[in-house]
Structure 1
Amino acid sequence: MRQPPSERIAKDAIKAWKLTASLWSCIPILIVIALFVLAYLFDFSYWYGTIFIAISLIEVILTVIFIPKLRWNRWRYEVFDQEIYIQHGILIVSRTLVPMIRVQHVDTKQGPILKKYGLSSLTVSTAATTHEIPALLEEEAAALRDRISELARVEQDDV
């Protein structure tokens, strides 16, 4: 059995994922407010809102506090001359080998949250699917993109 990949994504990924989860958690809060307004306007039970508050609090605690750290602990990758090895997952750990010969193109992308922390995600596209290595330091993502592109070009030339 192959050893787990040795490279980790940036530690600031935890902060970026917490911020993203916090923003998504605003949706249940708006639903709770709407439920209480509807309960007031149409005179039905406040229990619906109360139950939804409890569910929302559990969701916020899990997605903002615990999951980002667990997710960071599991994310690993390594680039070899012949393949890219990616490992991720919390409950179900996925290990993927992407042969360099199958790589069609490599991109980096950066949204506003990743930009705030100086991070970029790297996407590796094959004919079948796209694989992502999230939250790398910008310089590291650019260097890795160039390296994978060069290794894939060499593999293509060898065929």
Structure 2
Amino acid sequence: MRQPPVNTIALDAIKAWKITAAIYVGVLWILTIAHIVVSIIFDWPLWYVFISILISVLCTYLFVFLFPKLRWKRWRYEVFEQEIYIQHGILIVSRTLVPMIRVQHVDTKQGPILKKFQLASVTISTAATTHEIPALLEEDASELRDRISALARVDEDDV
């Protein structure tokens, strides 16, 4: 069996993922508060309220505090001359090999949260799908994009 890829993504990815998750969980908490208010108005059983609060607390712990760290630990990538090797996943670890000959184009993208931490993601497009290496330092993402593009171009010339 092949060894896992060696390159990791930026450590600030954890902070960026926590902020993103906090935004989504914030919406969940707003819905939970609305549920509590509606339960009081319509005199619904109290256990409905406890279940919604329990779900919100559990989601907050999992998505804001636990999963970003686990996700960062599992994300690995490596670029070879003939292929790109990507590993990711928390419970189910996925290892993907993308042949350079199949790469159609490579992009970098950066949203407002990634920009705050000077991070960018690299997306690798093939005819079948798109693969992403998230949350790399901006300079590393640009270098990786250019390197993959050059390697993919060389492979196309060889065919």
Q: Which bin holds the TM-score, normalised by the shorter protein? A: over 0.9
Following superposition, the deviation at residue 41 of structure 1 comes to 2.2
Matched, 1:33 2:33: yes
Is 1:135 aligned to residue 135 of structure 2? Answer: yes
CA apart distance, 1:4: 0.7
TM-score, normalised by the number of residues in structure 1: 0.97
What is the rounded CA distance, in whole Å, between the counterparts of 1:49 and 1:40 in structure 2? 9
Q: Match for residue 68 of structure 1?
A: 68
Report how many aligned residue pairs link the two structures: 159
Q: Percent identity?
A: 68
1:136 Cα deviation (Å)?
Answer: 0.2
Structure 1 counterpart SS, 2:95:
strand
Question: Does the 8 Å contact 1:75/1:88 carry over to 2?
Answer: yes
Question: What whole-Å deviation, never above 9, does each CA across 1:126-150 have from its counterpart, x for those lacking one?
Answer: 0000000000000100010000000
Deviation at 1:17, TM superposition (A): 0.6
1:31 positional shift: 1.3
Q: What letter is aligned with 2:158?
A: D
Q: After TM superposition, list the pairs within 5 Å mapping 1:47-62 onto structure 2.
A: 47-62=47-62
Any residues of structure 2 matched to 1:7-156 within 5 Å, and which? 7-156=7-156
Aligned structure 1 segments of 4 or more residues deviating by more than 6 angstroms: none
> What is the TM-score of this pair, normalised by structure 2?
0.97
Unaligned runs of 5+ in 1: none
CA RMSD of aligned residues (A): 0.9
Q: Structure 2: how far apart are the matches of 1:137 and 1:96? A: 22
